[in-house]
Structure 1
Amino acid sequence: MNDTLNRIRTAFAEAGVTGWLHACDIDSGAEIDAGGDHPVVTASVHKLCLLVALHQRAAAGGLDLTEQVECPLTDRAPGGTGLAAMLDPVRMSLRDLAYSMMAVSDNAAADLLLDRVGIDAVNRSTADLGLSRTRALHSFGGLLATLREDTGPGGSQVLTDPHVIGRLRALDPARSNRSTPREMTRLLGAVWRDEACTAEHGAAIRRVLGLQVWPHRMASGFPFDDVHVAGKTGSLPTLRNEVGVIEYPDGGRYAVAVFTRSAATAAVLPAADAVIGTTARIAVDAIRAAGVTRTA
């Protein structure tokens, strides 16, 4: 165990990040804990919490996921993907908005869903699942608005200044959407065991998580055709996160949450992205080596 933790810490250090990780076997509970209870900013990882709350409400009959929603050009949450990048009004179902929210981290789609579900319902959902340290304070557009307010007239150009980075509310777990790595793996475990929702809705959540398009973080650690990675990334200046489930052909399923903060302020840091996959692989390999051999 100590060797595994040392390898994880060394990988984080060599990538120039501070990192916190929790990984567990969804079925046996065996775990690797490298700062799993540290408070972290979730960023877009919190879209997973919204997705669960959405499906819980649908399962209770509170909404129809096939309902069509108008997505006007005005008041769309900013972002470089999904609805925010589109030039015309759009009409989509709630479930297709959920797909865009998870597959390409669409902030505008997320806030349309949040308008229907409500931030209080998202927080009740996580609280009911025993995630006492997981809480949403802002919509996704609201979170980005705090960035604009805190950077001031210099705009995004000043986000390379460590003094500006240090005053951003969005990067402070006490003032931003937050959780811990352990609570995120607990949420993933509940989804995979059909404890968060009915089996039908749990399957829908798992399907959408498996459609995320980004291969450069957690999935990069598992480059095998027969290993399936389903997850959700989250990013803010200096922050790179991902939570996900790795499923092996022998039936092994492992929930992993990795949250990092880089010392460098550059927007593009490939090593900081890749270390999420590297450390996830180290943790999963250690759990599998210590566990009971499975047969397909």
Structure 2
Amino acid sequence: MTAADSPEPQPPLSRRRAAPGAAPIPDAAPEFRRRPPARAGGRRDAPLRRSRRVVDGRRAFAASTRALDELAAAGAQVSVRVVDLDRGTDILAGDDHLILPVGGMGVVALLIETAAQFETGALDPLAIVERSSVEPVEVAGLWRHLKAPALPVCDLAVLTAATGDAIAANALLSRVGLDAVRERLERIGLVRTALLDGFRDRRGPDDAPHVSLASTGELATLFAALVNAQVVSPAVSAQVSEWLSLNTDLSLVAAASGLDPFAHDDDRHQLLFVNKTGRADGVRSEAGVLAGPRAGVAYALTVCFDDLSISHRLRAHEAFRLLGVDLMEYIH
């Protein structure tokens, strides 16, 4: 959503209607409960649900729910889902059926197909890819600042996961193929998630309007399935999870974790963390898994907002941070 097409202020998530006839979200992992379908007329029984678990004497997720309701009331589109990994039940859910732009989040699908092709031998991890083989872009990444004119495919996957490197992702996509990524998403049962295009500095009328789209319901389910070794195969799930564990963007939900952005794969406080973020103009999205001594969760949050000023952006970022605080209280 952009500033030009922002909706009028919306009611709190707890009173929001689902789209008429919205279908239930398919589960990539069978142990997660399917969301109830909309009733006739489009109303769900409880678009926003919180667990009854009490954390430190308070009902869980009160702060983040309040912040997200305030964003929605101000005109932002908010979609969220949090799942307890042990019980497979929803802790928090609101409008998680909505398909929204999620920036570079779509590279998770690209990484899944890359790992799958490594496993079958269809793609050589050490095959060299020239940087000059793709159009230069300046939206994000490190490779454009490096002297190395070529890298192996496996290193492109690392750059894509760790830094959201746009050139590396585009080069990887040119080798893997967009059609193969789309077919992979269909095979693993994701019908509300799509990688539409590579990264571009500018999007013309003939280009896809976004890099990727997704629902938070599917993103949370996908990350839960990844850490449970249920995406394609255990080896593919492990490889993708390893790549994503290198992600250095801990500025949204993960800002509350206290983890080192550059070295958080073996935290001394028994935190397991895997995530991916997506950013575009007026779009912030994050999905991941956070586990601690007491519990583990899979989560996804997308906010589409009017990026009219730094205060608008900071208000959206604060909602992500508050969700992170609530997640930390739940799992630790």
Per the normalisation by structure 2, the TM-score is 0.70
Q: AA paired with 2:202? A: A
1:51 aligns with 2:99: no
The structure showing larger relative contact order (alpha-carbon pairs under 8 Å, at least 6 residues apart) is 1
1:232 aligns with 2:280: no
Per the TM alignment, residue 89 of structure 1 is displaced from its structure 2 partner at its CA by 4.7
1:11 corresponds to which of 64, 67, 90: 67
CA distance in 2, matches of 1:29, 1:57: 30
2:243 corresponds to which of 205, 208, 229: 208
Per the TM alignment, residue 277 of structure 1 is displaced from its structure 2 partner at its CA by 3.1
Counterpart residue number, 1:182: 217
Counterpart residue number, 1:245: 289
- Give the 5 Å matches for 1:66-105: 66-72=126-132, 75-86=135-146, 88-105=147-164
Per the TM alignment, residue 253 of structure 1 is displaced from its structure 2 partner at its CA by 2.8
Count of equivalent residues: 261
**SS at the partner of 2:235?**
helix
Q: 1:249 to 1:52 in 2, by over 3 A?
A: same
CA distance in 1, matches of 2:230, 2:304: 31
Q: AA paired with 1:136? A: L
Q: 1:76 to 1:112 in 2, by over 3 A?
A: same
CA distance in 1, matches of 2:304, 2:258: 24
- Give the 5 Å matches for 1:139-154: 139-141=198-200, 144-146=201-203, 149=204
CA distance in 1, matches of 2:123, 2:208: 33
Q: Which moved more, 1:198-207 or 1:11-20?
A: 11-20
CA distance in 1, matches of 2:138, 2:277: 17
**SS at the partner of 1:229?**
strand
1:170 corresponds to which of 209, 234, 253: 209
CA deviations 1:62-87 (Å, max 9, x no partner) are 1121222222286223323222344x
Per the TM alignment, residue 145 of structure 1 is displaced from its structure 2 partner at its CA by 3.0
Per the normalisation by structure 1, the TM-score is 0.78
Q: 1:227 to 1:274 in 2, by over 3 A?
A: farther
Q: AA paired with 1:254? A: V
Counterpart residue number, 2:124: 64
Q: 1:84 to 1:274 in 2, by over 3 A?
A: farther
CA deviations 1:156-190 (Å, max 9, x no partner) are xxxxxxxxxxxx9736xxxx621100111121122
Q: Which runs of 5+ in 2 are unaligned?
A: 1-48, 51-58, 260-268
Q: Is the 8 A contact 1:79 1:85 kept in 2?
A: no
Q: Is the 8 A contact 1:22 1:258 kept in 2?
A: yes
The RMSD of aligned alpha carbons is 2.8
Q: 1:80 to 1:137 in 2, by over 3 A?
A: closer
1:138 aligns with 2:197: yes
- Give the 5 Å matches for 1:268-287: 269-282=313-326, 285=329
Q: Is the 8 A contact 1:185 1:243 kept in 2?
A: yes
**SS at the partner of 2:209?**
helix
Counterpart residue number, 1:257: 300
Counterpart residue number, 2:98: 38
CA deviations 1:218-250 (Å, max 9, x no partner) are 211323643232111111111111111102135
Percent identity for Structure 1 against Structure 2: 20
Structure number with higher helix proportion: 1
Q: Which moved more, 1:114-123 or 1:10-19?
A: 10-19
Q: Is the 8 A contact 1:134 1:178 kept in 2?
A: yes
Per the TM alignment, residue 4 of structure 1 is displaced from its structure 2 partner at its CA by 5.5
